[in-house]
Amino acid sequence: MEQTDLRTPARPAVRPVTPRQRAARAARNGGEPTLEFTDRVPYDAYVQASTLHRLQRPLSSDPGEMSFLMVSQIMELYFGLICHELRETQRLLRADRVWDALAPLRRAALHLEGLNAAWKGLRWMTPADFNRFRNLLGEGSGFQSAMYRHLEFLLGLRDEALIRPFRRQAEVHAELRAALQTPSVWDDVLALLARHGHDLPAELLDRDVTVEHEPHAAAEAVWVRIYADAGPENHLRLLGEALTEVAEQFGDWRHQHLKAVQRTMGAKVGSGGSAGLAWLQRSMARVVFPELWSARTAM
């Protein structure tokens, strides 16, 4: 018997049309939108909007909770989208298609801008506003976002202990473990640089990728040399700048997260059991693509 993927519910197919068919429909409609369909509205069949708008289930009657819930869901979607772009970047880097890899990297940076903008939807929230429904969240915390953990792993921020909360969710845990055991974007960048003739030691190229990358002087020196060539054909320099933009935007998200926590709960203990603000401050010390930043001192 054929197996079906229960995670992907059956839905009506979106029927493709040609430019000629579109023009004919517009002529029949006299330039007005189509108002009659034989089945589900095609937009909903594609976007699944009716499903998305049924996924909000607030735990309180407080009207502000909907903002908190929906902004959290929007951020989850952005986490997944940015992970998608970074995996595409990895695929292209592994094929030595440096120029092509710039496009998904730049898209990832733009998606991070959108992710950062989502914080604005919570700037109204004071401690009193949050306290009206915070207790109902129990131990629920953004720290427990599996997709955010995927994003951190892709960016090279790795800590095996952080997949432990998902042990009772076998599929999620397996996916996170696989991500932890797969090279990060930075690992793939360093491998690419070595293939392009840059001298990087084996200890850096053959390291245990489940462990967080430690900054290395040899990698820093390579980036200093790459940036010395400002010519338009130096695609590695363009790669460095695209990676820098991703790292900077991600750093901005972490900073805005810290400020949002500070605004809504000060230095209170976090919902997930952490020290809250203090824990976030410590986590921000972990730098994404570190040699790209330290190399600037020597440029």
Quote the radius of gyration of the chain (alpha carbons, Å): 23
Residue 246 near residue 151, CB atoms below 8 Å = no
Residue 255 labeled ligand binder = no
> Could you tell me if residue 195 is left (phi over 0), alpha (psi between -120 and 50 degrees) or otherwise beta?
alpha
Which letter, b or e, does each residue of 234-269 get, where b requires 16 or more Cβ atoms within 10 Å of its Cβ? ebbbbbbebbbbbbebbeebbebbbebbebbbeeee
Residue 134 labeled ligand binder = yes
To 5 degrees, how large is the angle CA 98–CA 86–CA 115?
130
CA–CA dist 119, 47 (Å, integer): 24
State both tokens at 57. 């289930």
State both tokens at 21. 């068919």
CA-closest candidate to residue 246, choices 180, 186, 203 = 186
Which residues define the annotated binding site for substrate?
Answer: 134
Which residues define the annotated binding site?
Answer: 134, 257
Which residues define the annotated binding site for heme?
Answer: 257
